[in-house]
Amino acid sequence: KAGVTQTPRYLIKTRGQQVTLSCSPISGHRSVSWYQQTPGQGLQFLFEYFSETQRNKGNFPGRFSGRQFSNSRSEMNVSTLELGDSALYLCASGETSGGETQYFGPGTRLLVL
């Protein structure tokens, strides 16, 4: 089976812009979770979608949003970008909701200037 894919792999934006990241889960997986990785804060949970519904949400401002489509592909959007949003954004897919055994994609590295 193909693994989790994320596009784009690298992105450079300026403050105030918005960005959309995409994630395609492993075939058959209906759960997609998003994590932010930074040197200072480490790995932090953003949100999880399962069967097109947001199931869990981390402690991030409303500028961070997401959605999931009927084919389980997911997108994450960040509006009004701030310098502190520079990070590696990781997507993970799983068969069930709730964090059990997730498989990660290679990530999208976002740099905000």
Partner 1 sequence: GNSVTQMEGPVTLSEEAFLTINCTYTATGYPSLFWYVQYPGEGLQLLLKATKADDKGSNKGFEATYRKETTSFHLEKGSVQVSDSAVYFCALSFYKLTFGKGTLLTVNP
Q: Which residues bind partner 1 (CB under 8 A)?
A: 4, 6, 33, 35, 42-43, 45, 48, 56, 58, 90, 92, 98-107
For residue 16 the two structure tokens come to 């105030």
Instruction: Find the helix or strand (DSSP H, E) in which 21 lies.
Output: strand 19-24
Q: Which is nearer to partner 1, 67 or 106 (CB)?
A: 106
Rounded to whole angstroms, the Cα distance separating 22 from 93 reads 13
Query: In angstroms, what is the minimal distance from the CB of 6 to partner 1?
Result: 8
Query: In angstroms, what is the minimal distance from the CB of 80 to partner 1?
Result: 25
Query: In angstroms, what is the minimal distance from the CB of 11 to partner 1?
Result: 15
What are 49's strand-pairing partners?
Answer: 32, 54
Q: Which is nearer to partner 1, 3 or 17 (CB)?
A: 3
Q: Which is nearer to partner 1, 39 or 70 (CB)?
A: 39
Q: Which residues contact 19 (CB under 8 A, 6 or more apart)?
A: 11, 13, 77, 78, 81, 110
